[in-house]
Structure formats: structure tokens, C-alpha cells
Amino acid sequence: MLEELNIKNAALIKSAEIEFDKGLNVLSGETGAGKSMVIGSLTFVLGERASREFIRDGEDKAVVEAVFGSVSDAARQCAEGMGIDCSDGMLILQRTINRDGKTAGRINGVSVTASMLKNLSSKLVDIHSQHESHSLLNASKHIDILDRFCAPQINEKKRKLSELTERYRGVVSKLKSVSGDDDERQRRISLLEFRIDEIDKAGLKAGEEEELARRKKVLMASEKLIRQSRQCLELLYYGTGEVPSAADKTGDALKICGLMAASDQSISQVYENIDLAYSKLQEASEAIKDYLESISSDPDEINRLEERLDIIYSLKKKYGATIEEIIDSRNKAASELEFLNNSREIREKLSAEKEKLLKSIRSICSDMTGIRKSAAVSLQQEITSQLRDLEMKNAVFEICISQKDTFNQKGWDNVEFMISTNAGEGLKPLSKTASGGEMSRVMLGLKTVIAGNESIDTFVFDEIDTGISGKTASKVAEKMAFVSQGQQILCITHLPQIASMADKNLLITKIAENGKTVTQVGELDKNRRIHEVLRLMGSNETETAIKAAKEMIEYSDMKKNNIRKK
């Protein structure tokens, strides 16, 4: 639920820190005091558009922050899907707009786009006003509203249907790949056969290119390497003229040290070290001899290496950046070739599987239609009853379910809410029939019926009481009290019946401060609550009027307690 709304430099609001409670939160105040700006600030932080006029005169930017606690699983999963930690069940949404019109949003400190804010906010808040009632005006959402009333039975069918449609799409994709034009398929087969043959003839081996490049480098420097190898052998093993080799000198030193060790054992370690050095010199000399014999300066071998490397380079341009990628390309081509060569048999199997899946999908879709129609009968009766209880005496509400030509993971049903608000009128789509006040009462009636099935925790009703009074106003207040026992409601009102039913009253006032108008929001205590109800009643502060306001509040509290005990 929405716990706090912090507003800074938004229109007439210089600074406001508004705390909300569970249940019914009512905001009231004189016309023009800034009630709609509070809701406007909320819609702004939830991702809706705003212009530079939203910023308070003389300020560089406006900032709004909304704190939600104990959010629903749907909201938590949505946030985590955006990479936002919500393990503690808290979500803090913040949004800023600057004088240049640019906005910036954050969720739990993570920068997000306006669309991400809107996506998440759809799981947090549902806002209804005289001009907006998104869930009801958008016919595409009617099926979701009905399905919440059908849970959990419909959810299990959706889960199975989702699995089947995923498999169905995969089968259709494979079937398409083997059901194309025969000439095109034959051209593809010829291309794949050429690729496989070309790569196979090359006889590539992993690591071959690196070894060829190394060998070529050696051959290109063979004359220099031969000369340098011979010089090493002369210095280490053969010697030159009268100059002995390192091996000869080390051998002489070994003999002398052996004589010394015979007389003094303390020198024996030195003897062993020289002996080891002598052995290593001989090993190194033998290795250089072998290396010298391996070096070739044959130009034909260099040509053969270059030809082999050219073949590899040519294949790399066509099939991959490395030999491993070329071999992988060949293997994929072989798999596709096998698939195409067996396409007729595969096509028959896939067609049979497709029909089997379609049969199962149709069966589940039919079951879902049955579940929805059964629930719709009950739901439309209950909503019609609620509307009549809300003084829409001639209203008839109906849920129209029709079958589409296609299906998706929700089935094949079209669901649209229809209504007739006056006697003798035919049913028409809800969005084209109901007035703003009627639409709000329809939404309130709907929320009353499906309150226990809602996944959204907070509902906002912005002056839904326009055009109603008396008994109807009392009925609207009672419905709000009922819905608010399970969901949080924020309601802007001009009606004393609704204000007296509140769990928390917030008064919005407008004052002059340093020559500028400032909107303030404050919680009402018991005494101020009485005076606000009195103001909404339009009465002077006489003893009789004050008594009447007290009695209205006491009656509303009693009525609310009785409603919530049921």
C-alpha cells in the first residue's frame, strides 16, 4: 500500500509530506485548494507525462517520491524483473522534472524510464476519476478482471494452455521450415552439400593454423637459424681452433674439483654442481644438434605451407573466424541437410503433432470459455445488484463473451463489459455509455464484488461523487468502507457522507506565504474532523449543526464497523 507521498515544488505545493494509512483515506478541502494537484503528483511519480508548468513558479525542478510498503507478489516480481531488489517488500518511487522539461525516475535508487515506472505502477495503484477509469474503459483488460473472479480454476487452465501454445509455436515454426517451395528447398540442399564437401576436402584440424604459421616462420628464418645453431654448438661442444668449448672447460674443471674433493669432503657439493652443469651442457648440445637436423630451407615446403594457409584463410572468410567455427558451421550444415532430406517424413510427423496440440488447445480453450461464462452469470448479477444499491435503479450490467478466430495464452475469448443505465435502452459497451459519475459507481460496484480477488493494493477515486448526493452518497460511502477493509482507498470528495466514513481524514488548504500561494496538507484530529464534515454539509457552525456533524460521524463509524464485521 501507499505509505507516504512526498511532494516538493509541484505547482502550489512548496513542500508536503503526506502519510496514508490502511483503509479509507479521504482528502477534502475548498475548491481550488489543490486537491487535484496531490493526485497529479501521484500520477506523475507513477510515470504519467507532465509539463514544465508542473514546477512551482520560481523553482528549478519538482520532485515527487512515493513510498509503498508490503507490496503484492505481482509488484515484487515486476520490480525484480527490472533488476530492482524488493526483498523487504518496500518500493520507493521517485521522479524529477526540470525546467527544460526533462524527467528522471528512480525505483529503490535505480534509474528507470517512465515506461518502467508505468509498468510497475500498474501493479501498485489503480486510479479512477471523472475522466479516467483505465481498467474499465480498456476493453482488452476486461478479460483479466473477469479471470480474477474465476481464480484459481482459470489459472490452472492458463498454465496448461501456456505450455501447449509454446509447444504449438515451436511445431509451427519447424513445419514452416520444411513446407516451403520445393525449388527453394533444393537450392538450399545444394548450397549445404557444397559447404560440407568444401570443408571436408580441406581436412581441417583444431590448432592446425597456429602450427602452420609457426612452421612457416621457422622456414622463413632457416638460414639464420642454421648459422646460429652452428655457432652455439661450437661454443658449447666443438670449440674453435685452439679455443676449447664450454663442455671441454667444464670437463677440465670437473676433474680438478674431483681431486680437491678427494682431499676435502667439504668441496664435494661444488663437485656435484659442476658435474650437473657438465651433463646439462651435453644435453643442450645434443638438443641443438637435433634441432639443426630438423631445420629445412626447402622452398617447396614453404610453398606447400602457404598453399595450405591460403585454403584455411579462404574458408575463414566464408564460414567462421577460426577453424573451430568452420568445423561447427560444417556440422550445423550437416544437421540442416539431414533435416531437409527427411523433410517429407518430418513434415508428416510435425503436421500430426500440430493437429494433436490443436485438439488439446481447443479443449482447454473451450473449458476456459465454460468457466468464464459460468462466472460471468454470477458476476454480472452481483454487479447489477450493486449498481441498483448505488441508486442506478434501472442499470443492467452484462458480460459479453465471444470467440475469436485465433487463440493466445488467455484462450480464444473476447470479453467486454456492456451496460444499460436507463430503462428501455439496449446494452452498449461500457466506455460508450456511462457518464463519469456512473463509470465511477460501476467501478466501485465491481470492486465491491471482486474485492477479495484484487492483486492491486491501492485504489484512488478522484471526485467520483460528482452528481450524487443524499442516499446515493451514503451508499457510495458504505461501498468504499467495504472495499477498503481489504484494499487501501484514497478518495477526494466534497461529500460529508464519504468524509465521515473515513479511517483517516486529510485536509487540503491554501494559504498566502511571503506573497505566494501555498497548498498545505494536514491530518485532521477528532475535533477538526467534525468541523470539516460540518463545512461539507454546508451548515453554519451552530450548536445544532455541530451536533448533526457529530451524529453523522458516529453513525458512519457504527455503520463501518458493522460492514467490516460481515
Position 235 scores a pLDDT of 87
- Tell me how many degrees the CA angle 393-396-400 measures, rounded to the nearest 5: 165
Position 552 scores a pLDDT of 92
Position 134 scores a pLDDT of 54
Q: How many CB atoms lie within 10 A of CB 51?
A: 8
Among candidate residues 479, 506, 475, the one with its CA nearest the CA of residue 493: 506
d(CA 326, CA 330): 6
d(CA 263, CA 67): 93
- Tell me how many degrees the CA angle 113-7-500 measures, rounded to the nearest 5: 120
Position 338 scores a pLDDT of 86
Position 291 scores a pLDDT of 82
Report DSSP state, residue 221: T
CA atoms within 13 A on the CB side of 179: 12
d(CA 392, CA 472): 9
Query: Do the strands 411-420 and 504-513 form a parallel or antiparallel pair, or are they unpaired?
Result: unpaired
Strands ordered across the beta sheet of 396-408:
396-408, 411-420, 428-429
Give the CA-trace dihedral at 161, 166, 172, 173, to 10 degrees. 170
Read off the C-alpha cell for 147: 479471470
Distances (CA, A) of 266 to 64, 257, 263, 308: 88, 11, 9, 61
Per-residue pLDDT of the chain (566 residues; tens, 9 = 90+): 999 999 999 988 888 999 999 999 999 988 877 788 888 899 999 998 888 888 988 889 999 999 999 888 889 999 999 999 988 889 999 999 999 889 999 999 999 999 999 899 888 988 876 545 455 667 888 898 888 888 788 999 999 999 999 999 999 988 887 776 677 778 888 999 999 999 999 998 888 888 888 877 777 767 788 788 888 888 888 888 778 888 888 988 989 998 898 888 889 999 999 999 999 999 998 998 888 887 766 667 777 888 888 888 899 999 988 999 999 999 999 998 888 787 778 888 899 999 999 999 999 999 999 999 999 998 888 888 888 888 788 888 899 999 999 998 899 999 998 888 878 778 888 767 656 566 767 777 777 776 655 667 888 887 676 667 778 888 888 888 888 888 899 998 888 999 999 999 999 988 887 778 888 889 999 999 999 999 998 888 888 888 999 999 999 989 888 887 76
